[in-house]
């Protein structure tokens, strides 16, 4: 018999895949999403349509920052055993355009979620999405959980680090078992259209140039969605113990542990598409960092997290999905 899991951001990239995985193993999923238009709502609706076909899935169109709405949701599902809080305003560059969206979703929304969690008497665990962006201007590589993470390069990164600190305080005061997951550049089928792989694929197929920031001299720890979901599920099933003298709050890196040069990433995509890209070399963008690289030793030890998808396989699967979905 599975458990009831509340998944926020369920129509999003990671939330959709997580809901599928939880339903596959027999859990009941209560999905929440406000279906905002940061990117194509059609893509979100298509993900949601697949989930609506599944037995055990319930959807609520709701903004996580809506206090009354979230309280009513909690009252309707008092037997919720776990929360996977993935809803957030995503994107580094967009935080320069609409900073208030990040304050509402990532700060107010996070606090409302924590207050909502307090309403569930039988709650075993709250897992929430953090980000590699919390490391900001850190010069240590790979990014370690021991890094101070107090020099954010973007408002997005700052809000995610603030979420970790807020969660720590709630775990300390209210004894809510929580785990924060720092995701590193997640990609794969049904991915976000504002991410590099999606943008590059669309442009190459259209014969348009792709924009390589910092003249292509960037590295990212690209992590395939299936590996990420395996890590999220493992984390969800392993709440930190609630014991005297310890705060039941942990943070883990979920990354591929293999940074890839942007030029190499594009070359693999060109092979998968059978087309050559036209490159436009652009300067570094405000809020960006030169490189990300996850130290996953703690994730391996505690969660048994072991990413196994090379970019050749992951990009190939994305291209297959993209061509089928967009019929190109």
Q: Show which residues are catalytic.
A: 156
Give CA–CA dist 183/181, Å, rounded: 6
CA atoms within 13 A on the CB side of 115: 15
Q: What do you get for the CA distance between the two ends of the chain, in Å?
A: 42
3-class state of residue 173 by DSSP: helix
Cβ–Cβ under 8 Å, residues 125 and 70: no
Q: Which two tokens stand for residue 322?
A: 């993209």
Degrees, nearest 5: CA angle 161-248-221: 40
Q: For 319, left (φ over 0), alpha (ψ -120 to 50), or beta?
A: alpha
Strands 82-85 and 219-220: unpaired
Label the pairing between strands 260-261 and 219-220.
antiparallel
């Amino acid at each position: 018999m599975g458990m009831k899991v509340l998944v926020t951001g369920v129509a999003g990239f990671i939330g959709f895949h997580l809901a599928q995985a939880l339903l596959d193993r027999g859990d009941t999923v209560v999905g929440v999403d406000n279906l905002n238009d940061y990117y194509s709502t059609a893509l979100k609706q298509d993900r949601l349509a697949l989930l609506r076909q599944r037995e055990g899935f319930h959807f609520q169109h709701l903004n996580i920052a809506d206090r009354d709405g979230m309280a009513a949701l909690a009252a309707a599902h008092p037997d919720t055993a776990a929360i996977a809080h993935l809803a957030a305003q995503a994107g580094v560059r967009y935080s320069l355009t609409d900073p208030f969206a990040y304050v509402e979703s990532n700060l107010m929304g996070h606090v409302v979620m924590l207050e909502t969690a307090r309403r569930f008497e039988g709650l075993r665990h709250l897992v929430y999405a953090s980000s590699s962006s919390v490391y900001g201007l850190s010069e240590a590589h790979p990014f370690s959980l021991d890094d101070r993470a107090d020099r954010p390069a973007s408002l997005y990164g700052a809000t995610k680090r603030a979420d970790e600190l807020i969660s720590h305080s709630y775990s300390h005061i209210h004894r809510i078992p929580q785990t924060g997951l720092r995701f590193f550049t997640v990609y794969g089928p049904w991915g976000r259209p504002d991410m590099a792989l999606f943008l590059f694929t669309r442009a190459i197929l259209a014969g348009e140039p792709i924009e390589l920031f910092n003249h292509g001299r960037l590295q990212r720890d690209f992590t395939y969605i299936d590996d990420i979901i395996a890590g999220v599920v493992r984390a969800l099933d392993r709440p930190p113990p609630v014991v005297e003298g310890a705060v039941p709050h942990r943070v883990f890196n979920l990354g591929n542990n293999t940074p890839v040069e942007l030029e190499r990433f594009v070359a693999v995509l060109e092979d998968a598409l059978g087309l050559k890209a036209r490159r436009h070399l652009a300067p570094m963008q405000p809020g960006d960092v030169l490189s990300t690289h996850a130290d996953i030793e703690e994730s391996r030890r505690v969660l048994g997290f072991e990413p196994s998808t090379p970019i050749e396989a992951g990009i190939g699967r994305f291209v297959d999905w993209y061509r089928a979905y967009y019929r190109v």
